Structure 1
Amino acid sequence: MFEHSNVALRSVLWLGFFAAILAAWWVMYAMAMQMDLDLLGRPGDMADRMRAMDPRMPMDMPMARFGPLFAMWAIMMAAMMLPTMVPTLRAYEDLIASANGNWAGWLGVLSGYFIVWVAFAALIAAAQLALLFGGVVDMLGIATSHWLAGGLLLAVGAFQFTRTKEVCHGVCHSPMMYFLGHWHTGMGGGVRMGLGLGVFCVGCCWGFMALGFAGGVMNLAWMGLATLFMVLEKLPQIGHVVTRPMGVILILGGLAVLAAPYVTGG
């Protein structure tokens, strides 16, 4: 009976986890479509379209207020970062079978991890507001200067080669080692370990969030590609071999963005 209930609980928790990811992506899609309607209006109304993209327009749109912007980033964190937690949660699940872990601790790890990313959502939402009112990004969160877009690509690409990235990625790539070195039991212990893992994860992946300003923070294509790469980085088999090649790709992309106006004569 106990074994049966444990299997049922496992199924419910994992199904709930993946349902939360799907729900977050659905909400992000709905928000992106609504933002297009709010900012761009009718497809043929070019005057309104250009005005909506002008950073000097009156700042009375939802994405010019901290509350809606923070909510957007928090949902985006759920959509993009929860999928990257699968190897970590699987590692903890192994400790339920082999050590004194339990499903309350599993939920604690998930909760602590997400708390850190929600805090990061507040920080980056505040940064986006500052950039918006400074005329550095438009209402869609897209850099208004190719210098900023190219500089972001170069900076994030260079970060892939730093010692900080190496240390943070090492923890994210091998969560079992973190659990063994920081083991705490129960829900509270899980939250504590989740907070620590979340800090390392932010240190590893913050750059891919910042790259939203290069292509638009509500750009679903960017969100999908960034999520895919961050998942690949954390896979035990290949995670350690994709980090630096991605750094090279980002640096080349940054150089291309910086050179584009001169090549095209713009």
Structure 2
Amino acid sequence: MARLRNVLWLGFFAAVLWAWWVLYSMAVGMDLDLIGRPGPMGEAMRRMDPRMDMYMPMAEFLPLFWMWALMMAAMMLPTLVPTLQSYEDLIISADGSRAGWVGIVLGYLIIWLVFAAVIAGVQLALLFGGVIDMLGIATSPLAAGGLLLVVGLYQFTRGKEICHGVCLSPMGYFLGHWRTGFSGGLRMGLGLGAYCVGCCWGFMALGFVGGVMSLLWMGLATLFMVVEKLPQVGQYVTRPMGCVLVIAGIAVMIWPLTTGG
């Protein structure tokens, strides 16, 4: 049993590292640095018109979905660790199982893959609407600042509070929705994934502010979402981050006015 536990955890973290490596390789291939700033080739890509009669991966649904799916694995699987640790306790004290553990991970991933499909479609709509460029970077301070403002204000809403409460205390969710075996774990994973999307969707959407392939944004967003779900400190960081995002959004929108840009 201990050997199976180690194999599952090693596979879990190997999947996370693999996703990050592929994303890094993609960023290098797009000629982006750590913060998503394009080099000469990337600048040329930004200026491309998505309506051009030629194949451009960032203007097609499947490549975008693949990119977002990798980002979901790289950024969201680490935030699942506290939840899986809570389930580990139930394997010992209740009738949890390794099959249930696998079911939770799978159910969680399914929900985030659905979200990846949705946000890939949103990116295409924003691209063809001229709101973002080919690299997923907002084309105007109004769009970037508005998104920062919306995500910041969401941190103060009842919806965020409810979803964050589940993410912060997965044991309470398990006790109220307990199911056994793989199918039970899958059902619980789907529920947990839905609450997690409700909690974290905004930080995924913030990729459109600085570029969805910015490794710096991905790293910082992942770190914050992990911290936000830690029982000891999570409840103390949500609203302060909301304040930071609101201030940043207002600053981004008014900066061109103050500089005459």
From 87, 104, 117, the equivalent of 1:122 is: 117
Tell me the distance in 2 between the aligned counterparts of 1:26 and 1:118.
Answer: 19
Aligned partner (choices 27, 31, 38) of residue 36 of structure 1: 31
Instruction: Report the residue type matching 1:54 in the other structure.
Output: R
Whether the aligned pair in 1 keeps the contact of 2:138 and 2:209 (CA below 8 Å) is yes
Letter in 2 for 1:184: R
Residue 191 of structure 1: how far off its partner (Å): 0.3
Cα distance, 1:54 vs structure 2: 2.0
1:23 alignment partner in structure 2: 18
Determine which of 46, 50, 53 is the counterpart of 2:46.
53
Distance 1:206 1:9 in 2: 33
- Residues 55, 135 of structure 1: 8 Å contact kept: no
With normalisation by structure 1, the TM-score equals 0.92
Q: 1:49 to 1:230 in 2, by over 3 A?
A: closer
- CA distance in 2 between partners of 1:156 and 1:78 (Å): 22
Residues 173, 239 of structure 1: 8 Å contact kept: yes
Task: Say whether the 8 Å CA contact 1:55–1:137 is kept in structure 2.
Answer: no
Give the whole-Å Cα distance in 1 for the aligned partners of 2:25 and 2:43: 23
What is the TM-score normalised by the length of structure 2?
0.94
Count of aligned residue pairs for this structure pair: 254
Question: Match for residue 156 of structure 1?
Answer: 151
* Aligned counterparts of 2:48 and 2:167: Cα–Cα separation in 1: 38
Match of 2:96 in 1: 101
- The match for 2:60 is 65
Note the C-alpha offset of 1:52. 2.3
Pair 1:215-2:233 in alignment: no
Which residues of 2 match residues 1-266 of structure 1 at below 5 A?
A: 6-36=1-31, 50-54=43-47, 56=49, 58=52, 60-266=55-261
Instruction: Provide structure 1 residue ranges, at least 5 long, that are not aligned to the other structure.
Output: 1-5
User: SS at 2:77's partner residue?
Assistant: helix
Task: Return the alpha-carbon distance in structure 2 between the equivalents of residues 53 and 213 of structure 1.
Answer: 13
Kindly provide the CA deviation profile for residues 37-65 of structure 1, in whole angstroms up to 9, marking residues without a partner as x: 8xxxx96x6xx665422253526311111
One-letter identity of the residue aligned with 1:71: W
Query: Following the alignment from structure 1 to structure 2, what is the Cα–Cα distance between the partners of residues 9 and 197?
Result: 24
Range that drifts further, 195-204 or 255-264: 255-264
Change in Cα spacing, 1:93 to 1:69, as seen in structure 2 (3 Å) is same
- Answer yes or no: is the 8 Å Cα contact 1:87–1:235 preserved in 2: yes
CA–CA distance in structure 2, aligned partners of residues 73 and 21 of structure 1: 14
Cα displacement (A) at 1:97: 0.2
CA distance 1:131–1:93, shift in 2 (3 Å): same
After superposition, what is the alpha-carbon deviation per residue over 1:231-258, rounded to whole angstroms, capped at 9, x for unaligned? Answer: 0000010000000000000001101101
Mapped contact 1:78–1:114 kept (Cα < 8 A)? yes
**Separation of aligned partners in 1, 2:6 and 2:120:** 35
Q: Which amino acid letter does the alignment assign opposite residue 49 of structure 2?
A: R
1:9-44 CA distance string (max 9 Å, x none): 11111111111111110011001111228xxxx96x
Following the alignment from structure 1 to structure 2, what is the Cα–Cα distance between the partners of residues 164 and 19? 33
How far off is 1:83 after superposition?
0.3
More helix by share: 1
Please list every run of 5 or more consecutive structure 2 residues that lacks an aligned counterpart in the other structure.
33-37
SS at match of 2:213: coil
**Aligned with 1:36: secondary structure?**
coil
Question: Which sits farther off after the overlay, 194-203 or 52-61?
Answer: 52-61
| Structure-1 separation of matches of 2:132 and 2:55 | 16
1:157-185 deviation per Cα after TM superposition (whole angstroms, max 9, x unaligned): 00000000000000000000000000000
| Residues 16 and 49 of structure 1: CA distance in aligned 2, closer, same or farther (over 3 Å) | closer
Aligned to 1:3: none
